[in-house]
Amino acid sequence: MTAVEIRGGIELPARRENVELETSDGLTLVGELSLPELAPPVATLVALHPLPTAGGFMDSHIIRKAAARLPALADIAVLRFNFRGVTSPRGTSGGEFGHGLDEQHDLAAAMDLVQSRGLPHPWIVGWSFGTEVALKWGLEHPIEGAILLSPPLHRTTPAELAAWAGSGKRLVAVIPELDDYLRPAQAAERFAAVPETEFVAVEGGKHLWVGEEQTYRVLTEIVARLNPGVLPLPRTWEG
């Protein structure tokens, strides 16, 4: 077999299924569930994408690459979907942008699917706007924790953030050194409200995590929480 470098848009083997999520306020959201090809998943990643009004969708590159790689590399199930009103090649989710408020129903619909499928050890992984939805509404669900990639903390109130303190759910804040909205020094002050936060400042990191090295770092931080025994992630794939 030939070894293939894992980078860019490579898609590793997985069982992939188009899914529809039904929200409690009557919308249908489109998404995809990616499962390990040969083994049951050891953990589950529920991915919440960046800001819809700035082009965020279920194919935003970190989320797409997590779904393309982590089922094969780390035995992780990945559920990704378009928030309400968002279009991607998978299709268009019903409804309109809810400014992080109505999206509580979208997250709840995703967690309903996780529960109905019996998917283990769910984590929410939010990126940018997705972190706002995670922080506002994640505590309502039976999750292991939340991983926040480039959290802007624009829509999350101080009280909503502080509610994670002592919740028993892990909170991981992955902060790019060169973020456009919230850099490590500011983030450290804001997340002090949750003393148990696992704070990760990424040297040279940027809000959009562009480039293979930044992608690899973000995926490594995710796997370090969901299935650390498989680290380091391989850089090549035999097949």
Instruction: Measure the CA–CA gap between 77 and 14, rounded to whole angstroms.
Output: 9
Q: Which residues of 53-71 are buried (b: 16+ CB within 10 A; e: fewer)?
A: eeebbbbbbbbbbbbbbbb
The answer to whether position 5 is within a domain reads no
Q: Residue 102 contacts by C-beta under 8 Å, 6 or more apart in sequence?
A: 25, 84, 95
Instruction: Measure the CA–CA gap between 49 and 84, rounded to whole angstroms.
Output: 11
pLDDT of residue 239: 75
The answer to whether position 235 is within a domain reads no
Nearest to 146, CA basis, from 70, 222, 200: 222
pLDDT of residue 2: 86
- What number of residues does the chain have? 239
The answer to whether position 3 is within a domain reads no
CA dihedral 144, 179, 53, 215 (to 10 degrees): -60
The answer to whether position 188 is within a domain reads yes
The answer to whether position 169 is within a domain reads yes
The answer to whether position 2 is within a domain reads no
pLDDT of residue 137: 98
Q: What CATH number has the domain bearing residue 38? A: 3.40.50.1820
The answer to whether position 236 is within a domain reads no
pLDDT tens digits for the chain (239 residues)? 789 999 999 999 999 999 999 999 999 999 999 999 999 999 999 999 999 999 999 999 999 999 999 999 999 999 999 999 999 999 999 999 999 999 999 999 999 999 999 999 999 999 999 999 999 999 999 999 999 999 999 999 999 999 999 999 999 999 999 999 999 999 999 999 999 999 999 999 999 999 999 999 999 999 999 999 999 999 999 97
| Contact in structure between 48 and 15 (CB atoms under 8 Å) | no
Give me Rg for the CA atoms of the chain: 17
pLDDT of residue 87: 98
Secondary structure in 3-state letters for 67-89 = HHHHHHHHCEEEEEECCCCCEEC
Domain hosting 133: range is 12-227
The answer to whether position 238 is within a domain reads no
Which residues is 77 bridged to in the sheet?
A: 44
Under the phi-then-psi rule, with left for phi > 0, alpha for psi from -120 to 50, and beta for the rest, what region is 75?
A: left
Number of domains in the chain: 1
pLDDT of residue 208: 98
